[in-house]
Amino acid sequence: MAPPPDAPFLAACRNRPADRIPVWFMRQAGRSLPEYRRLRGTGSILDAVRDPELAAEVTLQPVRRYGVDAAILYSDIVVPVAALGFGVDIAPGVGPVVERPFGTEADLDRLRPLDPEADCPYVAETVRRVVAGLGDVPLIGFAGAPFTVASYLVEGGPSRTLGRTKALMLGRPDLWARLLDRLADIAVASLRSQVVAGASAVQLFDSWAGTLAPDLYERHVLPASAKVFAGLADLGVPGIHFGVDTGELLPLLAKAGADVVGVDWRVPLDEARRRLGPDVAVQGNLDPAVCLAPWPAVAAQVRAVLDRNGGRPGHVFNLGHGVLPETDPGVLERVVELVHAREGPR
């Protein structure tokens, strides 16, 4: 059963009033849940993603426990490029690592067009299984934004400075543009497949965009991210654009074509809304570390986020980044209850 268009999450994404403020958490299906740890055991997350039965169950777990207003597909931003055989793996405690990093024109040949049905059919199968189990709760599909995926391919792994990435961007802008264009096509193919299988919204994760100055982002990154959103426009599903430490980039994230812009905790929500204007919905923005504090402090911070939104429509409550592994799930349950208790915008 497809969720109704006036489901609180979908209404908020479209900047419309809803009967309650919707809430979900990035990384809600993850290491903070004991049921997740029991089910996952050890091994690569890529192996878990390739198991639709397991991936679907992990996606559904936080919806059952927390009563959130949306599920987020259990997957990873490097799944498509890994499926293409680029030599990407996810090292425990490290993140994505690449056997042979991207560096020359010849490496473009390692990024052929993605055929989701042939290359990663398990993703669509997981989506179908999740949708069958969600009822009227929407599922969010997702992909890595071209810039963030490119940074892993170029650096060979996580990097705080993205030195090699920026060197390629500025030293070989022609090659850089072709790389991002190819990754945009891969993201579009992946997201379209997820929507066709039943996802009701999509989120584009640009986790490392905040390392860029606005002029570099606008010139070297925005066109590829805009291509992703444009490639989904005919499907009619809301698109969310999220990055970390992107306060100076918020209007540009919206300019890429997103219906909703994710805001981390570094920018107050009322200030973020001022920068974005009235036509863009927002998602966020409780500091994930706050959830480790005693409950009265957590509740005060949740109310502060809600107060800064000022009762306006178009607010999806979330954290400003992912749930920390050491978070007590009971705290998140109480956060959901508190947000839902606040009267929805009219």
Which residues does the annotation mark as catalytic? 27, 31, 40, 76, 152
Q: Tell me if 53 sits within 8 A of 60, measured CB to CB.
A: no
Q: What angle do CA 10, 115, 94 make, to 5 degrees?
A: 75
Omega before 285 within 30 of 0, i.e. cis: yes
As a whole number of angstroms, the distance between CA 313 and CA 128 comes to 30
Nearest to 74 by CA among 51, 58, 92: 58
As a whole number of angstroms, the distance between CA 324 and CA 326 comes to 6
257 Rama sector, left if φ>0, alpha if ψ -120 to 50, beta otherwise: left
The tokens of 142 are what? 């997702």
170 contact partners, CB below 8 Å, separation of at least 6:
none
Nearest to 258 by CA among 334, 145, 148, 180: 145
Question: Edge to edge, what strands does the sheet with 315-319 contain?
Answer: 71-72, 139-144, 201-206, 239-243, 260-262, 281-286, 315-319
Tell me how far the alpha carbon of residue 275 is from its chain's centroid.
Answer: 21
Positive/negative CA dihedral, 207, 279, 20, 233 = negative
CB crowding 90-126: b at 16 or more within 10 Å, else e? beeeeebbbeebbeeeebeeebeebebeebbebbbbb
Helix (H, G, I), strand (E, B) or coil at 80: helix
